[in-house]
Structure 1
Amino acid sequence: MSTTFSEARESGYERLSRIVEQRAGRYADEVELALNQGGLRDEEAELLDEFEQYVSNVLDEYPSRRRKSHQLIFNALYERKPETVPSERRRTLLVALMAAEVEAQGPLRLTMRQNKDLAEILEQLGTDCVAEKMMMHAAEAFERAAEIHLLTNDNLERDRFLYLRTKVLHRIERSWWRRIMQTVSAVTCGYGYRPYRLLGWVLVQLLVFWVMLLVVADGTWLHSLYLAAVNFINPAGTDELGGKVKTVLVVESYFGALSLNVFFALLVRRWFR
């Protein structure tokens, strides 16, 4: 009796895998059609809406019981064979991506180990989507991995995946001024997910203003260094200084206030959430 029940349960998972392959195959055909008609850039958002609908339909077929295994349910679908034909490579990639989405959103609770394994799979899928120029699909994979690490309380890994997601979306941003702002954010603080990068820019600013003070101010290099360091943190009085020195110190104080305020804001966000 128990053997029959076990076999029925296993067949339920096999049936679910076939459903995922069928739905993902249909979706892959739609992606290929969009590619043949001029690329994904204009249609990828709409295609992702259909992708979510396919995932929702598969979830309705999800078995109510978990099999007694520490492996992920769709482990066989994640183990993709190397494909030389681009369309087949994309198809197997989308099958694995849909399987990962279904498993992540499924009603069965995953263990800590399974969550970490699934996040690693999603990272690889996202990387492969980037290679295939399916940027929004990659962003979806990275975002799902970040949500998994929210469940596991691993904030460092969550930030890493959110960084990858933002980096991918930055690449397809069409607004030129947003691209400029995102580029500045990426270079200075890793889109807000790598605040310690700002400390490097603080050192660069100190070096630049120190050199400028060496040029315009009288005094030793040590005095100029001291003045630049102190003024960066706490603006010095400039009433008794010459016009050029005063200008340098005022500009430095604004840069210092902005850099340090942003740094501490990002640090507080990172520590207290």
Structure 2
Amino acid sequence: MGILSRTSYVIRSKINAILNRSEDPRETLDYSYEKMRDELQQVKQGIADLTTQKKRLEIQKRRLEENVEKHNEQAREAVRQDRDDLATRALEKKQAKMNQIEELETQIANLQETQDDLVDKKNQLQNRIEEFRTKKETMKARYEAAEASSRVSEAMSGVGDEMGDVSRALERAEDQTDEMEARSAAMDELVDTGAFDDAMSDKDAIDRELDSGRSNAEVNTELETLKSEMGKSSADAESGESTEAEATSDADADAELEEMDVSDEDVEAELEELKNEDDA
């Protein structure tokens, strides 16, 4: 196979594949049905034209027959007048007309035979068209049912084009949601760990930790004070508690407060030292 032949074959194959994909069987069946109806109409038109031609020949034959009768009368009249010459001429014309009539009868017979044949073919074609119409409607109904079933199956299985687009859109939405949730969680974690300093604050992570420690120390101090006050009230309410125990408890509480005060001063000193180092 030559290059041109192979190229032509490939092109025809691809065109045929494209046509098969774009072809709608219902449209093809309707088109074929209309073409058959057009052919039937052409056959009917041919029969009508043939019948018209036959009628013309029959009219011409009838006129010739009238002329034959006229020539007979002319020949009789010429004989009565002893005009054999005129009688002979009339009979010659009669014979010519008879020959023409014979030819016309042959043509008319041939046209009649052709007309009968066309009428038979027309009837056969009409029957075929009716059968094709029934099959066409049945096939269209089957195709539409199969198409509807296929759509439902594709929709249920998710393999159709539209359902595929919906599935892909859902997957993209899930991916974007997961990414956004992960980003939000990461930002919360970074904020909690102090990785992102507050843009509106001059404090860094160390300042925040120191503030947290100072706040915890103040809470602990207030807690110890509350405990001391509650212990003192209970001692006053109880009868039989020794004064020595109360003094010891107060001394211990004072010692604890002094230790905590010293701790706060140490923290403040260390904080000032760190700030001085940052300024330097």
TM-score (norm 1): 0.20
**What is the TM-score normalised by the length of structure 2?**
0.19
